[in-house]
Amino acid sequence: MIKFKRSSIVSGSIFLFLLAGCAIKSTVNTNKANRATVTDQNLALTPPMGWNSWNAFGENVNEQVIRETADAMVKSGLKNAGFSYVVIDDIWQGGRDSSTGMLYANPKKFPSGIKALADYVHSKGLKFGIYSDAGTKTCGEMPGSYGYEKKDARLFAEWGIDFLKYDYCFCPDFVSANNDYKMAISRYKAMGDALKATGRPILFSICEWGPRSPWLWGKEVGGQMWRTSYDIHDIWDIPRNETSPIGILTSIDVMADLGRFSGPGGWNDPDMLVVGLSNTGFIKGGGCNDIEYRTQMSMWCMFSAPLMVGCDIRNMNEATKTIILNKDIIDIDQDSLGKQGYRVMRKDGLEAWKKPLSGNRIAIALFNRNSSDKTITASWKDLEMEAGTRYHVFDVWKHSTEGRADGNLSANLQPHECKVFVLSVSKT
């Protein structure tokens, strides 16, 4: 079926991407890449937050699911916490009309049509997103937007779309990256320009998966976020010889070197949250425990990553709600400086990550990759902090001030656990 066909195509391609990766050189002027217009930037001054249908529902998405999800966004408190986009991913399409060339929704899944659904989502004070592809077909083998960029962009604007996720399946070089990024740049630019030409602010989410370094050209083509890796699945780690799909740990490692490309107006996107899927979603993997889900949330916020929830939010359990609705960790994600956290210490499977925050504060994540309990101690030197400075330490998951620290930070960590602290200079 579609799912297997696509994943075999994509995973078969990874090896070729990796081989090509070493030879790839940027043909993009990165100064130019930073010259997005003020309007584009305003669409995502902080990392976008919302929900996407793919992880939980895949090809089974329909209008009832979307309406109930919009209701649940409000009822569960997600909307109040800042999650604003409701995005329908792939396989919403019915086809493309052969005489008019107009894309239409699958009438069985969306009997009221997309415009009515967008109106409903808007009536809840939320924003509405949709999915298409830069190739002839989407990854789920629905019609892609190649050659129809202007038509599709106008249609999306008429429907009231606020967010477009744009994939890269069925482009000529999608299986093996060429030694330049020209094809991807021109295809994403065609849609980026078409979206701009509609006059409607539509956030442009680039889903090229990373092999053509979209962090170098994502802003230049009008994007506000770009995927850094292949699809994340509901699993902590995937054996090293497999690169697609990936688990939480690999996504973290890919992000480690990309911090300088992310910031207000354009964000590195390590893919959606798998928090709360518990191996019940459309994308599988075996599931993670709540400590691992909490680590994903922690690290995504340390990264200033877009926070796109992927579980069925109509049925979240308490543990999932506690993770996703933690205002203190969300505040780190949404901090106005928009800096991506970076790894400052790595030893024996123990890591410390640092993220500068507004107001002269610093977020520190202490993280245990091991499968046994460990104690980590990071000195001010490890954390690249000035000797002698004394900080108030606030534990973001305990929601409490832990006292003061003046030389190191220490934590006992369970397997795969991550603790996050906000440090502010103490005068006393």
Task: Tell me which residues are annotated as active site.
Answer: 167, 231
140 binds ligand GAL (CB under 6 A): yes
Site size with ligand GAL, rule: CB under 6 A: 10
Max CA pair span of the chain = 74
Shortest distance, position 94 Cβ to ligand GAL, whole Å: 16
Of 231 and 351, which CB lies nearer to ligand GAL in the complex structure?
231
54 binds ligand GAL (CB under 6 A): yes
Give the closest residue to 277 by CA, choosing from 64, 115, 58, 86: 58
Give the closest residue to 395 by CA, choosing from 307, 332, 325, 346: 332
Residue 64 CB coordination number (10 Å): 11
| Residues in a beta bridge with 298 | none
Q: Which stretch binds ligand GAL (CB under 6 A): 32-40, 138-146, 156-164, 174-182?
A: 138-146
Determine the Cα–Cα distance for residues 296 and 203; give it in Å rounded to an integer: 24
Report the site for ligand GAL in 216-245 (rule: CB under 6 A): 231
Shortest distance, position 79 Cβ to ligand GAL, whole Å: 23
Of 169 and 363, which CB lies nearer to ligand GAL in the complex structure?
169
Of 139 and 352, which CB lies nearer to ligand GAL in the complex structure?
139
Using the rule CB under 6 A, which residue among 40, 90, 162, 333 binds ligand GAL? 90
Q: Which stretch binds ligand GAL (CB under 6 A): 79-87, 92-100, 120-128, 134-142?
A: 134-142
| Residues in a beta bridge with 410 | 377
282 binds ligand GAL (CB under 6 A): no
| Residues in a beta bridge with 128 | 86
Of 169 and 311, which CB lies nearer to ligand GAL in the complex structure?
169
Using the rule CB under 6 A, which residue among 61, 87, 139, 396 binds ligand GAL? 139
Using the rule CB under 6 A, which residue among 114, 207, 216, 324 binds ligand GAL? 207
Sheet order of strands, 342-347 included: 342-347, 350-357, 361-368, 418-425, 391-395, 400-405
Conformational region of residue 77, where left means phi above 0, alpha means psi within -120 to 50, and beta covers everything else: left
Shortest distance, position 310 Cβ to ligand GAL, whole Å: 9
- DSSP assignment of 369-421, as one string? -SSS-EEEEEETTTTT--TT--EEEEETTTTEEEEEESSEEEEEE-TT-EEEE
Query: Do you find a cis peptide bond into 239, omega within 30 degrees of 0?
Result: no
End-to-end CA distance of the chain: 64
Shortest distance, position 284 Cβ to ligand GAL, whole Å: 14
Shortest distance, position 231 Cβ to ligand GAL, whole Å: 5
Q: What is the DSSP letter of 224?
A: S
Of 43 and 283, which CB lies nearer to ligand GAL in the complex structure?
283
Determine the Cα–Cα distance for residues 70 and 75; give it in Å rounded to an integer: 9
Report the site for ligand GAL in 154-173 (rule: CB under 6 A): 167, 169
How long, in residues, is the chain?
Answer: 428
Cβ neighbours for 346, distance < 8 A, ≥ 6 positions apart: none
Q: Which stretch binds ligand GAL (CB under 6 A): 14-22, 132-140, 394-402, 420-428?
A: 132-140
Of 248 and 350, which CB lies nearer to ligand GAL in the complex structure?
248
Q: Which stretch binds ligand GAL (CB under 6 A): 73-81, 136-144, 295-303, 369-377?
A: 136-144
Binding site for ligand GAL (CB under 6 A): 54, 89-90, 138-140, 167, 169, 207, 231
